[in-house]
Amino acid sequence: MLLAFLATMVWTGRGIDVEREVLIAFDLLLALVLGLLLYAVSARDPQAPPGLFDGVQLVLIVCALVVDIVALAAIAGRISEFGVSPNKVAALGENLVLLVNLSWSAWLYARFLVGRGPFSALVRWQIAYLPVYAAWAAFVVVAFPPLFGFK
């Protein structure tokens, strides 16, 4: 689905229209990619050499990165056009958190594929990054209501 979206975007020369529902769908899709990455990392033998599935996984991560960047641009456009709201700021933060995780994951996966890094570095990164998601969620739940006047 990510490849189809990216191909369509290149073919038509248009990114994500600033439709709220489309952005929500792509955020859910990015969360699914993250879940697949976490599953693949946890289910893989860390001592096994790189294989075809690892290459496919890296392509998936890179496609997700491109979609995340397009989504961030669309969110920034919505904020500049319609103003700040709790939902937009929460989506912006979530996409930034995903961008950092996916970027470093792609770097670590690429290093593993070319034999310049161990797979365990990717595993450690995913484990170490999980609290960032929890911290962002806690921030949204605890800080957003008073920051945005309980709207």
Confidence of residue 15 (pLDDT cuts 50, 70, 90): low
Q: Which residue ranges make up each domain of the chain?
A: 34-147
Residue 72 has pLDDT above 90, yes or no: yes
Provide Rg for the chain, Cα atoms.
17
pLDDT of residue 17: 62
The whole-number pLDDT of residue 89 equals 94
Of the candidate ranges 20-24, 88-92, 126-130, 145-149, the one whose mean pLDDT is the lowest: 20-24
pLDDT at 47: 92
Q: Which contacts qualify for 125-128: CB closer than 8 Å, 24 or more apart?
A: 126/37, 126/38, 126/41, 126/101
Residue type, 80: S
80-94: pLDDT as tens digits: 999 999 999 999 999
| pTM score, whole prediction | 0.88
Residue 2 banded pLDDT, cuts 50, 70, 90: confident
130 pLDDT exceeds 90? yes
Task: List phi, psi (to 5°) of 89.
Answer: -65, -40
